[in-house]
Amino acid sequence: MEFTLHIWRQHGAAEHGAFVTYPVRGISPDLSFLEMLDILNEELVGRGEAPIAFDHDCREGICGSCAMVINGDPHGPLPGTTTCQLYMRHFQNATDITVEPWRARAFPVLRDLIVDRSALDSVIQAGGYVSVNTGAAPDAHAITVAKQAADAAFEAAACIGCGACVAACPNGAAMLFTAAKVAQLAIMPQGRPERSRRVIGMVEAMDDAGFGNCTNHYACTEACPKQIPLRFIAQLNREFLSAALSSREFVELARPHAHEE
């Protein structure tokens, strides 16, 4: 197969970027999209040019490293698929393909297709866990969890933190990502005691990190390689509302300057 690739090149965070066109040929349909870029990169190195920088690692759709907007779609045209799991057999031969980095206010470009996604980590740091110290746990069977609940929690926990939902959202919101973690821990009984604090902390962190607001475009779930369902966003909204209404944090939230001294 052969393609004409238009790829975003940007030397550094502070520099301007632009699309550069590269023809590739002799590509087997059984190669993955990233393996095609590997071949192009080897060619570039052979010519003494800097190869295209992109994040990747596991190449099996689980680490969440790979991240490219392909022909306008985060992770490309195939639903429920990460870039590394996208095979060239899914593309029409002899076509043009544009490749660019995630575009979002919270994800500055570092080089070429690589962006800084640490804003996602900061959301988790604000409460995406159960605060249990090592050694404190009771026997694993002390609390039973209905299979349906465990399965639903798993569905949310399957998020790989890639940020495609943010890249797809016209507002650059991280609602689906945040909702997935909030929902997982709200469903599991172990996460219940902290649910109010958690949701308020994470939503605040989301705003602080520069993510936009959700205005119900639902582009996120379509782009999500793990197909995290939209209903978790509804659950996040419910969790937030009830937390804000009932918790002590609400008081602090309503009077944000109360602690200034």
Partner 1 sequence: MAVADMDIPAFDPRIPDGPLADKWQRHRAEVRLVSPTNKRRYRVIVVGSGLAGAAAAASLAELGYQVDCFTFHDSPRRAHSVAAQGGINAAKNYRNDGDSVERLFRDTLKGGDYRSREANVYRLAEISNQIIDHCVAQGIPFARDYAGYLDNRSFGGAQVARTFYARGQTGQQLLLGAYGALSRQIHGGQVRLHTRTEMLDLVVEDGRATGIISRRLTDGHIEHHGADAVVLASGGYSNIYYLSTNALASNVTATYRAYRRGAWFANPSFTQIHPTCIPAVEDHQSKLTLMSESLRNDGRIWVPQAMHEERRPAEIPEAERDYYLERMYPAYGNLSPRDISSRAAKSVCDQGRGVGPSGHGVYLDFAEAIGRLGRRVINDRYGNLFEMYQRITGEDPWHTPMRIYPAAHYSMGGLWVDYDLMTTVPGLFAIGEANFSDHGANRLGASALMQGLADGYFILPQTLGHFLAARPPLTADHNSAAGAEARAAVEARLARLVAVGGRTPVETFHRRLGELMWEHCGMSRSRAGLQQALVEIPALRDEFWSGICVCGGSAEFNVVLEKAGRVADYLEFAEVMVRDALEREESCGAHFRTEHQTADGEPRREDASFSHVAAWGFRGDGVAAQRAIEPLHFEHLQPAVRNYR
Binding ligand FES by CB under 6 A: which of 24, 53, 58, 130? 58
Binding partner 1 by CB under 8 A: which of 7, 99, 126, 243? 126
Q: Provide the H-helix boundaries in 51-188.
A: 118-125, 147-157, 164-168, 175-187
Phi, psi of 63, rounded to the nearest 5 degrees: -85, -20
**Shortest gap between Cβ of 227 and ligand SF4 (angstroms)?**
8
**Shortest gap between Cβ of 45 and ligand FES (angstroms)?**
21
Tell me if residue 135 falls in helix, strand or coil: coil
Q: What whole-number distance in Å separates Cα of residue 83 and Cα of residue 117?
A: 17
Residue 193: closest CA among 139, 118, 243: 243
Count the residues of the shown chain that bind ligand FES, applying the rule CB under 6 A: 13
User: 50 is in the binding site of which of ligand FES, partner 1, ligand SF4, none (Cβ under 5 to 8 A by kind)?
Assistant: partner 1
User: 176 is in the binding site of which of partner 1, ligand FES, ligand SF4, none (Cβ under 5 to 8 A by kind)?
Assistant: ligand SF4
Provide the CB-side half-sphere exposure for 190 (13 A, CA). 18
DSSP letter string, 148-175: HHHHHHHHHHT-----HHHHH-TT---H
Binding ligand FES by CB under 6 A: which of 9, 59, 197, 231? 59
**Shortest gap between Cβ of 156 and ligand SF4 (angstroms)?**
9
Q: Which is nearer to partner 1, 56 or 69 (CB)?
A: 56
What residues numbered 75-114 form the site for ligand FES, per CB under 6 A? 82-84
- According to DSSP, the β-strands at 17-24 and 114-115 are unpaired
Q: Provide the H-helix boundaries in the chain.
A: 33-46, 118-125, 147-157, 164-168, 175-187, 195-208, 219-223, 231-246, 248-254
Asked whether position 108 contacts partner 1 by CB under 8 A, the answer is: no
**Shortest gap between Cβ of 64 and ligand FES (angstroms)?**
5
Asked whether position 92 contacts partner 1 by CB under 8 A, the answer is: no
Binding ligand FES by CB under 6 A: which of 53, 63, 124, 157? 63
Binding ligand SF4 by CB under 6 A: which of 86, 169, 228, 236? 228
Supply 258's token pair: 């109360």
Binding mask 165-204 for partner 1 (x = CB under 8 A): -------------------xx--x-xx-------------
What residues numbered 178-207 form the site for ligand SF4, per CB under 6 A? 180
Q: Which distant-in-sequence residues (6+ apart) come within 8 Å of 80 by Cβ?
A: 224, 225, 226, 227
Q: Taken in order 83, 89, 91, 97, is the CA torsion positive or negative?
A: positive
Count Cβ atoms below 10 Å from residue 115 Cβ, excluding itself.
23
Q: Which is nearer to partner 1, 53 or 244 (CB)?
A: 53
Asked whether position 211 contacts ligand SF4 by CB under 6 A, the answer is: no
